[in-house]
Chain A
Amino acid sequence: DGGITQSPKYLFRKEGQNVTLSCEQNLNHDAMYWYRQDPGQGLRLIYYSQIVNDFQKGDIAEGYSVSREKKESFPLTVTSAQKNPTAFYLCASSGDREQLNTEAFFGQGTRLTVV
């Protein structure tokens, strides 16, 4: 079955540590996105990638880094520079080049807690 998989589901981090959240898709989608969701707020775009080996900052990129070495994978690293990393992180993908107007698919999310 095609889909998008995030791991882990829950993650605990000590202050000062970097952590990497995994996002893998087998939908042949070109575009992938990372969003952060905080209580009472909408999805805010962290980074997005339109194509392999290319990515762009979103609205709240500070303290985060990404890579897109493979079409299927778009890992997000939350660095120690991110001052308030506790949040729910959602990965999404969209845009199969062979189809028009495909909707975005979301992973199940990773809840990151800094302890």
Chain B
Amino acid sequence: EPEVTQTPSHQVTQMGQEVILRCVPISNHLYFYWYRQILGQKVEFLVSFYNNEISEKSEIFDDQFSVERPDGSNFTLKIRSTKLEDSAMYFCASSELVPNEQYFGPGTRLTVT
């Protein structure tokens, strides 16, 4: 069964460093999403992406964040200068169409020290 994959599973970085989190969505899906869950809090929406552009973003998704689909398979989330409060589990999701069901990857745990 097709699945969303994410790498790495755990990333440790120092405050101020740039990180790129990678996702491979399901191949025929057209909509891509990033969510995150800070420990002890709700999973929260960051951004949705369609047709090579951002469709919607939350207020969390400020200028420090960017997303890209650099080729036909990967979908990346870049954080330019990480802060301690960026430590969270980051989930990628994809859906074939809107408002079809979203399929989630296993997440990348980002730890900023």
- Do the two shown chains form a genuine complex with each other? no
Binding site for A on B (CB under 8 A): none
Binding site for B on A (CB under 8 A): none
